[in-house]
Structure 1
Amino acid sequence: MAAAAAAAAAAVVRAWRGARLSVAALLALLALALLALTAGRGGSGSGVRQPGSPPPLLPPGLREELRQRRHDLRRLEAAAGGGEAATGGLGCGDLSLATGISVLGWGFTKVVARAALAGGGAVALKSVHGAGREVRQCVQRYGAPAGCRRLAAYKLLKEVTLLQRLRHPGIVQLHGQCYDNSGDPEIRVTAMLELGSPLEMIQLLQTPWEERFKICLSLVKLLFYLAHSPLGSIVLLDFQPRQFVMVDGNLKVTDMDDASTEELSCKEDNDCTLDFPTKSFPLKCSAVGKCEGINEKKNLFNAYRYFFTYLLPHSAPSALQPFLSDILNATGDLRYGINETLNAFEKVLQLYKSGLYLQKRPLLLKDYISLKGFRMVEGEDYKCWPSYSHLGCLLSVHSAEEAAAICNSQSQCQSFIITQQRTWTGRPLASFQSSLTDLIPDANAVVYVKRSASSGETLQRQ
């Protein structure tokens, strides 16, 4: 019977994906999933209370877990009490008017949906996943669905509390929340957050190096903030790419319910080993009985193994490779802390933006004819990787001199133009062509053509 109930709940959950529902319809589906779960237990501890009946007595083990989570939440609220909270402007009234609800995904504890606001714009709605694994496992242990949903709700309340206090471009913004704790054993809470798109690592690997470096630099800046946050050093216990989203091309952490401000207590250095699947790092036990820097170092090594190793080295400018190798080696061995890592990243950024990494290169632009006042007709041409355009070869360059070096290195390239487009570093994009196509007058443009190209010879004679 329990298996059938779980299957029914799973079927309801699958029906959510891609659905476009009103808030009421979404809540109805949530209720159906929960009823399917409780039906499998013969109604015992169903959490569906008749009007006027007293709240059911929760099992001792569940009461203890609830007490611990309440304690953790109050401790966090007390630690955050000294600062100004960002409550967000949206509330239950805005939630009731939201339309176009579509479920984006779900995890161990929560379900996330997209909603259109009555006043325009869209937000992500995050609420307890009543058919999620955390609630299901709790119900299997205690047979009290309402109490188990309340237990899960404390994790979401903790996340809301953190988002109210932590303000950084790398943390998803809290726009508001709807909270109902009207005496029922269950807490109903919905967080309304900045809407982002899931981080797709496979897609990121196909993007230009400059964009991948931006992702890594943004992550380092976030970890620097977490190491020195107003609440103390914060560790992301469930550090995975799936905990991040992209918002307008910027990386942001969106899942904070497993973040912790506590550093591991210790009596001696042997209590402070930081273990990962492939490596272990011995740390020091401080005079106050805490493992020194364990939160910062755990975040940093996770950034190394999930982000840096995949995104940093591939297709980077050759002159920057030694600096990137130093970063990878130093973070992979935890010889760098977050301060040193941020300094190293900013050094690479300065070298890249200034063009200093191009020193001691031969000057190749002299081998090109410049046609001022023209640009090439845009169209499909030969492809290069990693290009900013799927129609041709569009790459970030520091100058026309660097573009000439790139064109010389590609056998198909016969001409190029420095476009008006700029990347996030302010560098221009150069479009490379396999032939000299039709030219269009443009007072602000210059076309560079290889002297060795037949079209260039013709132009030279003209």
Structure 2
Amino acid sequence: MPGPEALLALLAAPVLLALALVISGPWRLLDARVPLSLMQELERRQTDLSRLAAAARARDAPALPPGALGCAELHGVAGVSLAGSGITKVVLRAAVSPGGEEIALKAVHWAGSDVSRCLQRYRHQEGCYRLASYKLLKEAVLLQSLDHPGVVKMRGQCYDRRLGLEMNVVTMLELGTPLEMIRLLQTPWEERFKICLELVELLYYLANSPLGSIALLDFQPRQFVIVNGLLKVTDLDDVSTEELPCKADEDCALEFPTKSFAFQCAAHGKCEGINEKRNLFNAYRYFFMYLLPHTAPFTLQPILAGILNATGDLRYGANETLRAFQKVLHLYKSGLYLQKKPSHLKEYIVLKGFRNKDTEDYKCWPSYSHLGCMISVHNAEEAADICSSHPQCHHFIITPRSTWTGRLLTLFQSNLTDLIPGGNMVVYVKRPTASRGFL
């Protein structure tokens, strides 16, 4: 099997053929020595791929944009390194000339378990490669058919079969960073809510996509990446674009390790809504359970608990879930979630014209800064309330920076010597305790 050097050589082949050519013909070039069962499996996947491509064409799926990358660009890639690998595909990180833009390259993983199992069973290298390539081709069709901020963008493709009968398929995608759940759990609630909201917006789109309701069959956090701060699904090779066929309600069971659900078999012989509900429960068990409740604002917790209960019991569909998330977002952005209580702002003196040293101060968790306590607030009154609740807090600074919701990033500090005259920051300093009684 090709090693890393041979794989890189294949990726650099400067020949570009349209994906339509791949779909229309290469499977038929296999020789007569291919085992019958392997040929039948290839034909089934070819039929599935052709059906999906026909559905995409019928809906006028957009082609790759002008300037899309091809095999010629692969010839000049630099800085190639391994970004990840799975049972079917290997993902490489590379810089494209000119400009040095970094992209992700996907190709068949020769050492992956998909190819290995196929070789053990059929002993036919080319047939097994083509069987694995099917997933890349299917993903390419889906990526060109789905247009949503939560779906990773396809930058180009390359098909090459100059080296004998061996076929090479490469897809080129925008590069993202892997989603790290442990790191996410350590971020402020607002950032975790953003991830969950973007996921719900994606699932709503998949439930109503141009290709029908789409189920992510291999739904795992590792299937997602962050691109320019946005959550995006990057693995679409293992999906279903059709609802499960059925003859009776018993055929419409949805089973998970800790829970199972029953659905009705619709008159047209499909388990209607099962794809949408599969995605939602997976979002609940992999994302919502961990990211939504922890350190959430107190007054929002009952609403979040309702979302968790409704998605965990599959009482909500994608539409209801999205509306619930939008309600939380509105309450949070508008400040309506804040409890009505006496203002602490009158206990602070306002000083203008300062700048701040980037030095360590007291910590709070979770914080937007590793140097000290930085929290987002709706306004100065909320900041004063927070500072008054921290024994260490002597003053706070509302910085010019804001979060994705427009909330103000505010630095809470204990050391007044970190303030330097001559800046444009406004500092709120606690009045001496003795003077508060004269307010």
TM-score w.r.t. the length of structure 1 is 0.86
* Native 8 Å contact 1:196 1:245 kept in 2: yes
* Equivalent of 2:106 in 126, 129, 135: 126
Matched residue, 1:263: 243
Matched residue, 2:49: 73
1:135 matches 2:112: no
User: 1:167–1:184: structure 2 CA closer, same or farther, 3 Å change rule?
Assistant: farther
* Native 8 Å contact 1:375 1:417 kept in 2: no
Q: How far has the Cα of 1:54 moved from its partner?
A: 9.0
* Equivalent of 2:218 in 234, 238, 241: 238
Tell me the distance in 2 between the aligned counterparts of 1:27 and 1:91. 10
Structure 1 segments unaligned to the other structure (5+ residues)? 1-8, 29-52
* Equivalent of 1:247 in 219, 223, 227: 227
TM-score w.r.t. the length of structure 2 is 0.90
Matched residue, 2:73: 94
* Native 8 Å contact 1:147 1:185 kept in 2: no
2:208 partner amino acid: H
2:44 partner amino acid: Q
1:160 matches 2:137: no
How many residues align? The count is 418
Deviations 1:393-423 (A, max 9, x none): 0111101111111112211111101000111
Q: How far has the Cα of 1:437 moved from its partner?
A: 2.1
1:218 matches 2:198: yes
Equivalent position SS for 2:258: coil
1:67 partner amino acid: E
* Native 8 Å contact 2:79 2:94 kept in 1: yes
Tell me the distance in 1 between the aligned counterparts of 2:418 and 2:307. 46
Matched residue, 1:50: none
* Equivalent of 1:280 in 238, 244, 260: 260
1:100 partner amino acid: G
* Native 8 Å contact 2:12 2:71 kept in 1: no
Equivalent position SS for 1:257: coil
Matched residue, 2:358: 378
* Native 8 Å contact 2:89 2:112 kept in 1: yes
* Native 8 Å contact 1:103 1:112 kept in 2: yes
* Native 8 Å contact 1:414 1:453 kept in 2: no
| Percent identity of paired positions between Structure 1 and Structure 2 | 64
**Could you tell which deviates more after superposition, 432-441 or 297-306?**
432-441
Deviations 1:21-42 (A, max 9, x none): 99328789xxxxxxxxxxxxxx
User: 1:443–1:131: structure 2 CA closer, same or farther, 3 Å change rule?
Assistant: closer
Q: How far has the Cα of 1:241 moved from its partner?
A: 0.4
Tell me the distance in 2 between the aligned counterparts of 1:54 and 1:226. 35
Q: How far has the Cα of 1:183 moved from its partner?
A: 10
Q: How far has the Cα of 1:436 moved from its partner?
A: 1.6
Equivalent position SS for 1:114: strand
1:103 matches 2:88: no
Structure 2 segments unaligned to the other structure (5+ residues)? 14-28
User: 1:382–1:400: structure 2 CA closer, same or farther, 3 Å change rule?
Assistant: same
Deviations 1:276-309 (A, max 9, x none): 1111111111111110200000000000000000
1:64 matches 2:44: no
Q: How far has the Cα of 1:362 moved from its partner?
A: 2.2
Q: How far has the Cα of 1:438 moved from its partner?
A: 4.4
Tell me the distance in 1 between the aligned counterparts of 2:315 and 2:341. 33
Matched residue, 1:363: 343
Matched residue, 1:304: 284
Q: How far has the Cα of 1:184 moved from its partner?
A: 5.6
Matched residue, 2:23: none
User: 1:185–1:63: structure 2 CA closer, same or farther, 3 Å change rule?
Assistant: farther
Matched residue, 1:343: 323
Equivalent position SS for 1:75: helix
Q: How far has the Cα of 1:145 moved from its partner?
A: 1.1
Aligned 1:167-246 pairs, distance under 5 A = 167-181=147-161, 185-246=165-226
Equivalent position SS for 1:159: helix
**Could you tell which deviates more after superposition, 355-364 or 211-220?**
355-364
1:402 matches 2:387: no
* Native 8 Å contact 1:22 1:99 kept in 2: no
The CA RMSD measured in Å over matched residues stands at 2.3
1:329 matches 2:329: no
Tell me the distance in 1 between the aligned counterparts of 2:399 and 2:39. 65
Equivalent position SS for 1:290: coil
User: 1:230–1:202: structure 2 CA closer, same or farther, 3 Å change rule?
Assistant: same
User: 1:442–1:415: structure 2 CA closer, same or farther, 3 Å change rule?
Assistant: same
1:23 matches 2:8: yes
* Native 8 Å contact 1:55 1:185 kept in 2: no
Deviations 1:324-365 (A, max 9, x none): 111111100111100000000011001000000114122111
* Native 8 Å contact 2:215 2:276 kept in 1: yes
Equivalent position SS for 1:363: coil
User: 1:300–1:22: structure 2 CA closer, same or farther, 3 Å change rule?
Assistant: closer
2:119 partner amino acid: V
**Could you tell which deviates more after superposition, 360-369 or 286-295?**
360-369
Tell me the distance in 1 between the aligned counterparts of 2:164 and 2:48. 21
Equivalent position SS for 1:105: strand
1:165 partner amino acid: S
Deviations 1:151-191 (A, max 9, x none): 00011000000001101110110000001356965431000
1:192 partner amino acid: M
Tell me the distance in 2 between the aligned counterparts of 1:156 and 1:133. 16
* Native 8 Å contact 1:415 1:434 kept in 2: yes
